[in-house]
Structure 1
Amino acid sequence: MDASVIPYREETLCFGPEARLIGTITQPADRPARPGSQPGLILLNAGMLPRVGPHRLNVELARTAAAQGLTAIRFDLP
């Protein structure tokens, strides 16, 4: 796939006390992020599964949401 047509951008972040919480934020590629300006999606891991989710479900959900204009974050609970 041509990188110029990917409708999202992703960044992996460390946050929380001692930066122990690791997550990936997926945002629409065509406009800058504006915190608090629109609803977003929070995707949690399920037990021992990583933030990609079962069968990469959370990745697909986050990217689909971003392609439709929403910001999504998925992270691994410590």
Structure 2
Amino acid sequence: MTHDDQLPAVLANARVIFFDFDGPVCDVFAGLPAHDVAKQLTALLSSQDPAAGSKAAETDDPIEVCASPTRRTPSSAGRSSRH
């Protein structure tokens, strides 16, 4: 069995699929430096959740910025998530 043979089963059981921003499947930020993308994402996040935005500002990696809202900060620990 090859990796290609396993792909349909893996995708069928996945709740979420995350494609790398600069990979062969998804080229969303083509031509933009990673630190510029991180700044833009941090600004967007900060406008919705200042505490999460402050935490995200600690990195210049856009993938880390995207992951930062899933990490609880002391100020968000007592809040429920927005949906």
Smaller-chain TM-score bracket: under 0.3
Structure having the larger proportion of residues in strand: 1
TM-score by length of 2: 0.23
Larger Rg: 2
TM-score by length of 1: 0.24
Structure having the larger proportion of residues in helix: 2
- Bigger RCO (CA 8 Å, 6+ sep): 1
